[in-house]
């Protein structure tokens, strides 16, 4: 207990910290008093704070109640018009209850080298981010449009986070990268096996034999400005909120199906974005979840 307290409470302050070439995160924590150092994470929190009388945000939010924006929002999820499609089957009904899935969810690092059925993948995707209902909205002109509601809450109903699939060993799907289209409930082909290999090479943990045996992975790809256009810097918080909600839906669905899943943000961002053809700023990978059968 004494050692634990010393490790977490004692700080080795360095008078010459600013001149160090190697600055570990622990060293940065110990020297928080060095005001000249960049504080990017803290600045993110400060930039996303709501403040009274913020006219910029108030006017931006009001703009989203106009007819042109409502019409645009009604079309969300209708992307990738030219990409080949892979139809999804009916899916599998999970046997476990929500209570059992919540209690039984565990991070799995040992995957069996077995194929995942397209039915199971379809079930996971529908729990992750599918359209579950429609709600009519009346426009100022008097006409109505339908908004497509999904399984995950999204700030302002903007849905800036997309669900992509890296299929390594999924029956009925050729190895490659796919995008899930919620409006169509189908997969759009984004890349071949070469792109899949490049994406796996961007994962720090992909050298693990057990993880490489996973049937595939779910990649969450975000367009932050879809949320920030309305909410400013605070919109970035909503992006991560949504990514977390999708991730949890995936874990619970996988657990209910008797599958294994593992959160992983251990990928090289620039390498991953380059592998997938993303610009890394206006569209970028933000999270990854391994998916497959549990190993012995």
pLDDT attached to residue 190: 95
Angle at 96 between CA 109 and CA 217, to 5 degrees: 35
- Res. 140 pLDDT band, cuts 50 70 90: confident
pLDDT of 156-191, one tens digit each? Answer: 999 999 999 999 999 999 999 999 999 999 999 999
What single DSSP character describes residue 117? P
pLDDT of residue 165: 97
Instruction: Please report the pLDDT score of residue 254 as a whole number.
Output: 97
Delimit the domains of the chain by residue range. 55-294
Q: Beta strand pairing status for 216-222 and 176-181?
A: unpaired
> Tell me: the pLDDT tens digits for 52-83?
888 888 888 888 888 888 888 888 876 667 88
pLDDT confidence of residue 206: 59
Asked if 64 and 156 touch (Cβ cutoff 8 Å), the reply is yes
**What is 16-81 written as a DSSP string?**
TGGG-S---HHHHHHTTT-TTS--HHHHHHHHT---TT-HHHHHHHHHTTSHHHHHHHTTTT---S
- Average the pLDDT over 130-152 and give the result: 89
The CA distances from residue 89 to 108, 123, 127, in Å, are: 26, 9, 14
Q: In this predicted structure, what is the pLDDT of residue 28?
A: 76
Tell me the C-alpha distance between 123 and 265, whole Å: 23
Classify residue 253 as exposed, middle or buried by CB count within 10 Å of its CB (0-12, 13-18, 19+). buried
The pLDDT of residue 248 is 97
Query: Rounded to an integer, what distance in angstroms lies between the CA atom of residue 175 and that of residue 195?
Result: 9
The Cα 146–Cα 138 span in angstroms is: 9
What is the predicted pLDDT for the residue at 296?
75
Distance between terminal CA atoms of the chain?
Answer: 36
Is the predicted pLDDT of residue 154 greater than 90, yes or no?
A: yes
Reference 110, options 7, 252, 206, 210; nearest CA is 210
**pLDDT cut 70: percent of the chain above it:** 93
pLDDT at 11: 66
203: three-class secondary structure by DSSP: strand
Segment 6-26 shows an average pLDDT of 69
- 128, 129, 117: which is closest to 92 by C-alpha? 117
What pLDDT is stored for residue 6 in this prediction? 65
- The pLDDT assigned to 9 comes to 67
Per the prediction, the chain carries an average pLDDT of 89
Give the predicted TM-score (pTM) of the model. Answer: 0.89
Q: In the predicted model, is pLDDT for residue 261 greater than 70?
A: yes
- For residue range 90-139, what is the model confidence (pLDDT) as tens digits? 999 898 999 999 999 999 999 999 999 999 999 999 999 999 999 888 88
Please tell me which residue, 9 or 91, carries the higher pLDDT value: 91
pLDDT tens track for 238-250: 999 999 999 999 9
C-alpha pair distances (Å), 285 with each of 93, 158, 185, 214, 276 = 30, 17, 21, 19, 9
Asked whether the beta carbons of 117 and 171 are under 8 A apart, the reply is: yes
User: What is residue 210's predicted lDDT score, i.e. its pLDDT?
Assistant: 75
Q: Is 156 helix (H, G, I), strand (E, B) or coil?
A: helix
pLDDT for 127 = 96
| pLDDT at residue 294 tops 90 | yes
CATH number of 55-294: 3.40.109.10
């Amino acid at each position: 207990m004494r050692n634990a307290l010393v490790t977490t409470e004692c700080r080795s302050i360095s008078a010459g910290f600013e001149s160090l070439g190697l600055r570990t995160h622990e060293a940065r924590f110990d020297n928080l008093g060095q005001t000249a150092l960049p504080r990017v994470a803290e600045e993110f929190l400060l930039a996303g704070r709501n403040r009274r009388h913020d006219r910029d945000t108030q006017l931006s939010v009001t703009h989203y109640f106009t007819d042109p924006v409502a019409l645009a929002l009604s079309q969300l999820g209708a992307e990738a018009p030219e990409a080949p499609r892979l139809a999804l089957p009916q899916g599998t009904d999970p046997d476990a209850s929500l209570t059992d899935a919540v209690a039984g969810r565990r991070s799995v690092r040992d995957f069996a080298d077995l194929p995942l059925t397209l039915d199971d993948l379809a079930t996971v995707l529908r729990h992750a981010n599918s359209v579950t209902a429609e709600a009519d909205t009346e426009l100022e002109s008097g006409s109505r449009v339908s908004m497509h509601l999904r399984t995950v809450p999204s700030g302002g109903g903007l849905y800036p986070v997309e669900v992509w699939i890296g299929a390594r060993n999924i029956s009925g799907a050729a190895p490659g990268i796919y995008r899930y289209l919620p409006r169509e409930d189908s997969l759009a082909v984004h890349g071949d096996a070469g792109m899949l290999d490049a994406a796996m090479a961007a994962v720090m943990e992909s050298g693990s034999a057990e993880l490489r045996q996973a049937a595939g992975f779910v990649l969450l790809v975000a367009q932050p400005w879809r949320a920030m256009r309305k909410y400013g810097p605070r919109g970035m918080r909503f992006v991560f909120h949504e990514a977390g909600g999708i991730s949890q839906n995936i874990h619970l669905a996988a657990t209910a199906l008797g599958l294994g899943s593992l959160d992983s943000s251990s990928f090289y961002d620039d390498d991953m974005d380059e592998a997938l053809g993303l610009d890394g700023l206006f569209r970028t990978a933000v999270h990854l979840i391994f998916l497959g059968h549990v190993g012995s």
